[in-house]
Amino acid sequence: MAVGADEEEAAARPVAVADVVVLVEEVGVRAADSVRPYGARAPQEALEGVELRIVGGKSRAVDGQHREVRATEGVEMATAMYRDMARRLAVTEGVTWQERLMEVQRGLRRTLLGYRDGAKVFSGTRFTDTGHAETMDAHLRVLVDAGFTPSVAARASFIVYSFTLGFVVEEQAVEPMEGERARGYDLEKRAERIGADYPLAAAAGADLFLDFEERFEEGLRAVVAGIEATLGPASG
């Protein structure tokens, strides 16, 4: 999560949306772009066909039944999510830089999974303040103390962060919240649709749409090993 050059302007900008109203229609689409930032923790059935209208800083539903989801006054969702992660992240002292990278990404994934479409909400969004700077600085310091230059430490962190975001986007498409599984991911039906002409593609379903915890750990280790081999202090 990066802060742009105009972060002071962003910090001063008031957050318009305080009340969020989700409209549930008879026929819907999954988590429309307009509702993603404010549909956190809403039940899956409430997000099947949602539409959000924001008018003059206030959210208003038009036609049909609706339910209100209150957002924190003056705090954008991504900032609140980061604070949530920072509060819950237990970082072990004296760990290697590799372990530090993995600990932080595990904490990020846990936080994102606590919100419906959490990874989509969090990615590409600026923070509303600079409260993240302390934890970010401490994180980068671990890498710099291990021999990374400040620039490479930042890039290495961004690489593994991007892996986590992308992974959780795909994970939440299949399992929007804990205990839920989205329609359209039946592995047997998938294999039948693909057919015997493409046996490798048909058999890949289990490796793509199951066992997310194990696959995240596998991917995280691979990314960190790649960073060590190409960007690490001993790589040159």
Count the alpha carbons within 13 Å of 150 in the hemisphere toward its beta carbon.
3
Q: Does residue 96 surpass a pLDDT of 90?
A: yes
- Higher-pLDDT residue of 9, 58: 9
Last residue of a domain, one of 70, 91, 109: 70
pLDDT tens-place string over residues 45-76: 444 444 333 333 333 343 333 333 333 332 47
Q: Is residue 236 part of a domain?
A: no
Mean pLDDT of 180-188: 92
Q: Does residue 220 surpass a pLDDT of 90?
A: yes
Cβ 19 vs Cβ 58: under 8 Å = yes
Q: Does residue 215 surpass a pLDDT of 50?
A: yes
Residue 82 shares a structural domain with residue 174: yes
pLDDT tens-place string over residues 142-153: 999 999 999 999
pLDDT tens-place string over residues 68-89: 333 333 247 778 888 888 777 7
Residue 58 shares a structural domain with residue 83: no
Cβ 163 vs Cβ 220: under 8 Å = yes
- β-strands 65-70, 19-24: how paired? antiparallel
Residue 129 shares a structural domain with residue 186: yes
pLDDT tens-place string over residues 26-42: 222 233 343 434 444 44
pLDDT attached to residue 55: 31
**What DSSP character marks residue 40?**
T
Cβ 46 vs Cβ 67: under 8 Å = yes
pLDDT attached to residue 122: 85
Average pLDDT, the chain: 74
Range of the domain at 135: 77-230
Residue 54 shares a structural domain with residue 84: no
The three-class DSSP label of residue 89 is coil
Residue 196 binned pLDDT confidence (cut-offs 50, 70, 90): very high
Cβ 79 vs Cβ 128: under 8 Å = yes
Cβ 135 vs Cβ 184: under 8 Å = no
How many domains are contained in the chain? 2
Q: Does residue 212 surpass a pLDDT of 90?
A: yes
Structure tokens belonging to residue 64: 């049909």
Residue 90 binned pLDDT confidence (cut-offs 50, 70, 90): low
Q: Is residue 220 part of a domain?
A: yes
Cβ 180 vs Cβ 158: under 8 Å = no
Report which of 48, 9, 4, 42 is spatially closest to residue 28, judged by C-alpha positions.
Answer: 48
pLDDT attached to residue 155: 97
Q: Does residue 20 surpass a pLDDT of 70?
A: no
